[in-house]
Amino acid sequence: MRGLQLIGNLDGLLVTVPHKIAVCALVDHVSPAVAVSGSANALRREPDGSWSAANFDGTGFVAGLVHRGHDPAGRTVAVVGAGGAGSAIAVALLEAGVGGLRVCDRDPARLAALRDRVAERWPRPVVFSDEPDLRGADLVVNATPLGLRETDELPFSLDDLAPHAVVADIIMTPRDTELLALAAARGHRVHHGIHMLRHQIPAYLQFFGFGDALSARS
């Protein structure tokens, strides 16, 4: 990262796993979303040579939900995975006004760090645990990498889900992960990972200074 920052004609970059959390310590300025989530997926060089970090995973995910008719406002949501994307999604869901939020991750240090940052901004309790509690959830989100490979185990069991629960995955390829295929077979509505990316693109363009081009196309 330090080497990339020295390249004179590099004005920005997109960050993906497993670097979204680590890059936050290497920039000069962070957006509010990065400050709370501890994760970044876009870096921009400023005119003075400093670097700014932003994260659009969460807002893109929520915008995708709303667009597909799954507005999370007032709903009980469970997020499985508190890594780079999962943390950003959890923060965006709180911003969107969910009725209740549960965050699960098997890494106790990562879970504790997110809990401390969230507590500073949202006084109402968010349930953090090392095992998923999906009972009564209206929306369940897989924010782990489980599902990228055919040999992966399921990120969580569907047995405790309410019949009306929506099952979402942030994995884009394959489109129909084993989790989503199984959920659909059981009658659950499903939400595919590609929607998170599609609804980040306008924010990316604005962040990197291409807002005029976006307006011209609309």
CA gap 90, 95 in Å, rounded: 9
- Whole-number Cα distances in Å, 173 to 14, 106, 140: 18, 24, 19
Q: How confident is the model at residue 213 (pLDDT cuts 50, 70, 90)?
A: low
pLDDT at 120: 84
Q: Which span out of 124-128, 156-160, 211-215 was modeled with the highest average pLDDT?
A: 156-160
Active site members: 20
Complete domains list, the chain, with CATH: 2-56+200-217 (3.40.50.10860), 57-197 (3.40.50.720)
Residues 73-93: tens digit of each pLDDT: 999 999 999 999 999 999 999
Percent of the chain with pLDDT over 70: 96
Contact assessment for residue 132 and residue 156, using Cβ atoms and an 8 Å cutoff: yes
Q: Which of 143, 146, 137, 136 is nearest to 110 (CA)?
A: 143
Predicted structure pTM score: 0.92
- Residue 161: is it exposed, middle or buried by C-beta count within 10 angstroms (0-12/13-18/19+)? buried
Which residues pair with residue 73 across a beta bridge?
98
CA gap 21, 124 in Å, rounded: 25
Percent of the chain with pLDDT over 90: 86
CA gap 62, 59 in Å, rounded: 5
CA gap 74, 8 in Å, rounded: 47
